[in-house]
Structure 1
Amino acid sequence: MGHDISGLHHVGHVVRDMERALERYRRLGFTLPPPAYPAISAAEGTPAEPFGAGNTHAYFPRDFIELVTVVDDASGRIPADAHLIPLEVPADRLPAVVAAVRGTAANLAACLRRFEGMHILMFDSPDVEGAAARLHAGGVGHGGVHAVQRPVETREGTRLEPVRYLEIDGDDPATARGRVPEGRIGLAESPSAEVIDAQRRADHPNGAIGLVECVLCVTDGELAGVERRYESYLGRQATGSAVKRVFDLGDAKVVLVTASALADLLPGERPPALTDEPRPGERTSASGEPLPGERALASPAFVAYGVAVRDLAATERFLRESGLPVERSAEGDLFVPAAAALGVAIVFHQYTSGGS
């Protein structure tokens, strides 16, 4: 029987400063187009201003990395080459669209309050409707299947490609819809042949050709519970050890690792705070920390993602010539530490015909 999840669709790196993130990712060897920002006019006749969130993508044939940031009215840091996308919707629908964009931005802002880094993971699905039915039958809450359109540069020019997706809801009623403790998790339908062809033409100086891994760090006592949760998401079981569990998705994998074992997997790495914001109504100190006796929620955190590259030795030369620190994982792969990659370690794997 086939699986309704077949790999990784994209990972999302939430950053504070898009301009800085673009510089860093290009230095890492990823090709990214100028970021896009939704824009709206505050009053008739006034120029459209960016709001909500902005993003850009490093594309591979079947998947991509998303860089996303919140529009900060205080700093107003929008890259000079950013594309503003005016919202062109009927007046009666505009309030709902604006509210949805602001809701997305609020979720991203909550992620940034934890830490700058990876907070989004979307799985690839050849059968979104079937996956939605399976999740529902297994008691996994989600917001249903929705459709959006994204621009794709084809050989015939730019076209809007429909994409169907769903977002998984957390079990805590105090958590926003479409958000689980580690961020935003969901699935999106597999790309069409035309999209694959278009994205295949993206060339990355570091030799990257596809997403193959994400690593989720959990507190030592929570590994079994998080593993059960991901079993329900993915419809398959994990293998591994008492401190590291691996879900094999075919051409990619999801790794769960305990905080105490993270440095064994990625030497020198330390997990970010494995706690979430206090629950609404909880008392906090001036720094935002829960007061004694108040609860902070234990939350996993994405600490790394991995890409396959054509030639690992060439990738290492490129990264070192770019002045970036390069380390070796326990499995012998290269990685740039989270401290040098804006909060998430990036692992580079040698491409093999059975692995990407």
Structure 2
Amino acid sequence: MTQQDIHSVNHVGLVARDLAAAADRYQRMGFVLTPFSAHAGAWKPGAAVSPLGSGNRCVMFEQNYLEILGSEHAAAPSPRLEQYLRHHQGGHIICFGSEDLSSVDRRLKACGMGSSGVIPLQRDVETPEGVRTARFERVQFSPDDSPEGYIQAARHLTPEFIYQPRYARHPNGCTELSDTVLIVDDVARFRERYEHFTGLEPTVEAGEVTYRFPLCSRLTLLGRDRALERLPGTLHPPVPGIAAVGFRCPDLRTQADLLRSAGVPFLEAGGRLIVPAEEAAGVAVIFEA
């Protein structure tokens, strides 16, 4: 057996047309968001790091997070984000967590899948001691192998700048980005692909494929029919696509009261609260016990 080189869904990236409006909606759902942080990065190994024209605000937890992306300057929108938005507003990025990206790169190539190699990324973040540069390494999986979104794995080189306790405590009590839900057009094909992506063997039950990661979080694949059962009352993305994110919530009754008082529409289904995608910048938000 080989060592497991991917340990989590580190974050999901949601691309919003109006970052301020999206941030306001997530704050009304009871989340604390980080201040805006601009991105800089390179697109191939050895290339210089340069500004990317985009940035984010994040819903942080102790070990993973939701990233809400927008252009840094409205007058000069990020071409990359504009390309995403021409397709749809919503989930476009899944980033797996890893401490051994060279292993991920080798494993993907051994499976006959494309990879960028290990490339740098960074962004400046506010800390109690002032602005610091958070640095990462990442491996981008080939876009030809992932029509559902931009799939990558990343390693945090300066995790203390990202995982700041002051941003990980939320009024709604949520403790984890617990699930990432994709709707796919060929469950068997995507099951095999995500086995290669993650190095994990999934569980399969009632047409639902689930990958559970050793550190935290899971990833769920749903066919179209199963998605209508599991994600009722919400718009679905173009298929294949990232349809929903789940959050671990300790008290669903209190959360339901919070959503009602904030005027955020939701429904109850299968013991979960679901905020429709059209109310959450393009992804359904699931609160689960």
TM over 0.5: yes
What secondary structure does 1:52 align onto? strand
Map Cα deviations across residues 107-156 of structure 1 (whole Å, 9 max, x no partner): 32222122111111101112222111211211221111112233455554
Q: 1:338 to 1:201 in 2, by over 3 A?
A: closer
- Are 1:138 and 2:138 matched, yes or no? no
**Residue of structure 2 equivalent to 1:194:** 160
2:69 maps to a residue whose letter is V
What secondary structure does 1:264 align onto? helix
Q: Which residues in structure 2 correspond to 1:69-108 (within 5 Å)?
A: 69-70=70-71, 76=75, 105-108=78-81
When normalised by structure 1's length, the TM-score is 0.70
- Are 1:64 and 2:30 matched, yes or no? no
Q: 1:201 to 1:27 in 2, by over 3 A?
A: closer
Map Cα deviations across residues 190-216 of structure 1 (whole Å, 9 max, x no partner): 576635762465322222222111000
What secondary structure does 1:29 align onto? coil
> For 1:273 and 1:122, how far apart are their aligned partners in 2?
20
Structure 2 residues without counterparts, runs of 5 or longer:
41-50
1:181 maps to a residue whose letter is P
CA contact (8 A) 1:259 1:271 kept: no
- Are 1:327 and 2:273 matched, yes or no? no
**Residue of structure 1 equivalent to 2:220:** 255
Higher relative contact order (CA 8 A, sep 6+): 2
> For 1:201 and 1:52, how far apart are their aligned partners in 2?
24
When normalised by structure 2's length, the TM-score is 0.85
**Residue of structure 2 equivalent to 1:181:** 147
> For 1:150 and 1:199, how far apart are their aligned partners in 2?
19
What secondary structure does 2:117 align onto? coil
The answer to which structure has the higher strand fraction is: 2
Tell me whether 334-343 or 50-59 shows the greater mean CA deviation: 50-59
- Are 1:203 and 2:169 matched, yes or no? yes
2:234 maps to a residue whose letter is E
Q: Which of 169, 184, 188 is 1:224 aligned to?
A: 188
- Are 1:305 and 2:271 matched, yes or no? no
1:248 maps to a residue whose letter is R
> For 1:328 and 1:194, how far apart are their aligned partners in 2?
37
> For 1:56 and 1:327, how far apart are their aligned partners in 2?
26
- Are 1:17 and 2:4 matched, yes or no? no
Look at both structures and tell me which one has the larger radius of gyration over its CA atoms. Answer: 1
**Residue of structure 2 equivalent to 1:336:** 275
> For 2:163 and 2:16, how far apart are their aligned partners in 1?
29
Q: Which of 232, 235, 238 is 1:267 aligned to?
A: 232
CA contact (8 A) 1:62 1:191 kept: no
Q: 1:38 to 1:12 in 2, by over 3 A?
A: closer
Q: How many residue pairs align between the two structures?
A: 277
Tell me whether 114-123 or 145-154 shows the greater mean CA deviation: 145-154
CA contact (8 A) 1:61 1:199 kept: yes
> For 1:117 and 1:194, how far apart are their aligned partners in 2?
28
- Are 1:117 and 2:90 matched, yes or no? yes
- Are 1:29 and 2:30 matched, yes or no? yes
Structure 1 residue 242, shift from structure 2 partner: 5.5
Q: 1:209 to 1:195 in 2, by over 3 A?
A: farther
What secondary structure does 2:164 align onto? helix
Tell me whether 198-207 or 26-35 shows the greater mean CA deviation: 198-207
Q: 1:346 to 1:55 in 2, by over 3 A?
A: same
**Residue of structure 2 equivalent to 1:280:** none
> For 2:193 and 2:25, how far apart are their aligned partners in 1?
34
What secondary structure does 2:55 align onto? strand
What secondary structure does 1:236 align onto? coil
What secondary structure does 1:139 align onto? coil
CA contact (8 A) 1:335 1:345 kept: yes
**Residue of structure 2 equivalent to 1:315:** 255
Identity %: 35
RMSD: 2.7
